[in-house]
């Protein structure tokens, strides 16, 4: 399980090679809510593309967070600007006694649209890591899938299907 998208080309090659031998789960975040924010941002950016909105990305994390900007912030930036993500600056803030918050703003001449995702307890991330790990184990056992590169879309599709089937 890999919870980042901050991989260089060599590392991406290694992940792909590994996925030819075993199951690999790769996601910007282990939280499904982040996946849905990214999907919403892609749609919003497409809809507003020709309307002259300025886009900004901000992140706030605990002081122990090593990467600046975070992989999640980079993924949000890529979601709104896939052709030229470096064109959008990411404001980074590290504070005591805080978990994480990511904010994407679409600022128009007379209005502003904000996507804000806040995590207030790190145990939420740990809970989803466990759920995804158990899902990967079940995919290997139940579906006899021994290798491949899976992501949050795969996990959520299977979870939705399983919920419907009871």
Cβ-defined contacts of 62-67 (< 8 Å, 24+): 62/94, 62/95, 62/96, 62/97, 62/98, 62/99, 62/100, 63/94, 63/95, 63/96, 65/94, 65/100, 67/4, 67/6
Instruction: Write down the pLDDT at residue 42.
Output: 96
- Give tens-digit pLDDT for 19-78: 999 999 999 899 999 999 999 999 999 999 999 999 999 999 999 888 889 889 999 999
| 166, pLDDT greater than 70 | no
For domain 38-120, give the fold. Dihydrodipicolinate Reductase; domain 2 (3.30.360)
pLDDT of 40:
95
Mean pLDDT across the stretch 138-143?
A: 83
Whether residue 164 is predicted with pLDDT greater than 70 in this model: the reply is no
In this prediction, residue 144 has a pLDDT band, given cuts at 50, 70 and 90, of confident
- Specify the pLDDT at position 159: 60
Please tell me the pTM assigned to this model: 0.84
Structural domain spans, the chain: 1-30+121-166, 38-120
Q: Is the pLDDT of residue 158 over 80?
A: no
pLDDT at 157: 86
How confident is the model over 62-121, as pLDDT tens digits? 998 888 898 899 999 999 999 999 999 999 999 999 999 999 999 999 999 999 999 999
pLDDT in the model for residue 28:
85
């Amino acid at each position: 399980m890999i919870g980042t998208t901050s991989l260089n080309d060599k590392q991406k090659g290694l992940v792909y090679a590994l996925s030819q031998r075993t199951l690999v789960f790769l996601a910007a975040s282990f939280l499904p809510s982040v996946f849905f924010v990214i999907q919403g941002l892609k749609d919003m950016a497409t809809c507003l593309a020709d309307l002259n909105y300025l886009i900004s990305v901000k992140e706030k994390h605990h002081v122990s967070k090593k990467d600046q900007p975070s992989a999640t912030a980079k993924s949000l930036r890529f979601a709104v600007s896939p052709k030229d993500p470096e064109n959008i600056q990411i404001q980074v803030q590290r504070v005591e006694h805080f978990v994480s918050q990511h904010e994407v703003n679409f600022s128009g001449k007379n209005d502003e649209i904000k996507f804000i995702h806040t995590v207030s307890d790190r145990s939420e991330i740990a809970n989803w890591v466990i759920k995804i790990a158990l899902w990967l184990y079940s995919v290997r056992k139940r579906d006899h899938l021994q290798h491949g590169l899976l992501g949050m879309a795969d996990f959520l599709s299977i979870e939705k299907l399983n919920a419907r089937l009871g």
